């Protein structure tokens, strides 16, 4: 970081840097329907195949094993709905509008509300503490909380990932939808999800009850919920935890208030490019398969202007371990931090 930038002797204005970032990534916004459809189809077919296998075997152990595998692939398939919320999976509006709801409603996931809430998140991350997807508590919130909630904050990663899981995400998203029902088209999306989930679940229950399989269906649903919850909660926590801060403009704020994860190309594909989360937040219209290239180009612009480079932290498991063992709170702005990030106050020190 150059002293000139800190003191205001800038060779280029913030707006010019933002414009340059736009220019170097301009050709990466085109969605390739084949790439998105291929990812969607492979994950979906594997999931459906495992579901058919699970329900066709009479042995309960094999049923559970096949269902657990189905849960893993359902989790990655469900991540495709994130791309659909941004209309970047296939670029086909009808497909990216209808399919995520059909995938989500059987698991009670209020996708329509999530898509609206997610739009608010992209506008408020690092900027407005009302951000509906903010997971980390502030110091003030912690001080005012009941002792039971303070205990929860001290064990937040464990509680969210392994206890609250998918049910926790469903409840949280629904509550945020009600909280922000006056924003965007939230009320309409709440009604759409409620109606869709009711119809889909009614149909499924009629089928399993008529076949005398209600017990197996409940077990099947719970296994999927547990596994999908673990994967989704882990991803959600890693993306922004301990990075809250507002830099000089929205683009640069997103570059520094999001976490990139260094992982294999296969895991990156399964995660829909969200291992480059800072790049996605800065340019949400860039499809998942172009995010690695965008990362390299953005790094060169940052280096050119003596701005801090984006980091790629250790893989998903290692990053989860390191962050979860040292829970922290959002404190005041750290004036010594060039990215205007807030100080992180360790919970265990209070």
Give the 3-state DSSP-derived string for the chain, with helices as H, strands as E and coil as C: CCHHHHHCCCCCCHHHHHHHHHHHCHHHCCCCHHHHHHHHHHHHHHHHHHHHHHHHCCCHHHHHHHHHHHHHHHHHHHHHHHHHHCCCCCCCHHHHHHHHHHHHHHHCCCHHHHHHHHHHHHHHCCCCCCCCCCCCCEHHHHHHCCHHHHHHHHCHHHHHHHHHHHHHHHHHHHHHHHHCCCCCCHHHHHHHHHHHHHHHHHHHHHHHHHCCCHHHHHHHHHHHHHHHHHHHHHHHHHHHCCCCECCCCHHHHHHHCCCEECCCHHHHHHCCCCCEHHHHHHCCCCCHHHHHHHHHHHHHHHHHCCCCCCCEECCHHHHHHHHHCCCEEEEEECCCCCCCEEEEEEHHHC
**What's the pTM?**
0.93
Q: What's residue 96's pLDDT?
A: 96
Q: What is the pLDDT along the chain (350 residues), one digit of tens a residue?
A: 444 444 444 445 777 898 999 999 999 999 999 999 999 999 999 999 999 999 999 999 999 999 999 999 999 999 999 999 999 999 999 999 999 999 999 999 999 999 999 999 999 999 999 999 999 999 999 999 999 999 999 999 999 999 999 999 999 999 999 999 999 899 999 999 999 999 999 999 999 999 999 999 999 999 999 999 999 999 999 999 999 999 989 999 999 999 999 999 999 999 999 999 999 999 999 999 999 999 999 999 999 999 999 999 999 999 999 999 999 999 999 988 888 899 999 998 88
pLDDT at 281: 98
Report the pLDDT value the prediction gives residue 220, as an integer from 0 to 100.
98
């Amino acid at each position: 970081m150059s002293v000139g930038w800190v003191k205001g002797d800038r060779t280029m204005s913030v707006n010019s840097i933002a414009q340059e970032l736009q220019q170097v990534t301009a050709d990466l916004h085109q969605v390739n329907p084949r790439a998105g459809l291929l990812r969607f189809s492979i994950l979906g077919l594997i999931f459906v195949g495992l579901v058919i296998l699970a329900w066709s075997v009479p042995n309960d152990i094999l049923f559970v094993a096949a269902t657990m595998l189905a849960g893993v692939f359902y989790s990655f398939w469900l991540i495709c709905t994130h791309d659909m919320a941004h209309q970047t999976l296939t670029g086909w509006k009808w497909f990216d509008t209808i399919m995520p709801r059909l995938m989500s409603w059987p698991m009670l996931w209020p996708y329509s509300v999530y898509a609206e809430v997610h739009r608010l998140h992209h506008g408020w991350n690092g900027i407005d503490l009302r951000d509906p997807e903010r997971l980390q508590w502030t110091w003030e919130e912690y001080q005012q909380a009941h002792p039971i909630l303070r205990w929860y904050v001290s064990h937040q990663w464990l509680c969210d990932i392994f206890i609250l899981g998918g049910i926790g995400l469903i409840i949280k998203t629904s509550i945020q939808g009600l909280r922000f029902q006056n924003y965007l088209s939230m009320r309409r999306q709440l009604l759409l999800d409620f109606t869709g989930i009711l119809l889909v679940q009614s149909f499924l229950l009629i089928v399993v009850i008529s076949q005398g399989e209600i017990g197996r269906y409940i077990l099947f649903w719970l296994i999927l919920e547990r596994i999908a919850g673990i994967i989704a909660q882990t991803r959600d926590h890693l993306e922004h935890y301990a990075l809250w801060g507002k830099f000089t403009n929205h683009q640069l704020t997103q570059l520094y208030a999001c976490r990139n994860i260094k992982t294999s190309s296969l895991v990156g594909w399964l995660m829909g490019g969200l291992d480059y989360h800072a790049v996605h937040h800065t340019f949400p219209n860039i499809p998942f398969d172009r995010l690695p290239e965008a990362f390299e180009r953005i790094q060169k612009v940052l280096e050119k202007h003596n701005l801090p480079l984006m980091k790629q932290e250790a893989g998903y498991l290692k990053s989860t371990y390191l962050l979860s063992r040292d829970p922290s709170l959002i404190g005041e702005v750290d004036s010594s931090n060039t990215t205007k990030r807030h100080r992180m106050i360790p919970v265990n020190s209070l």
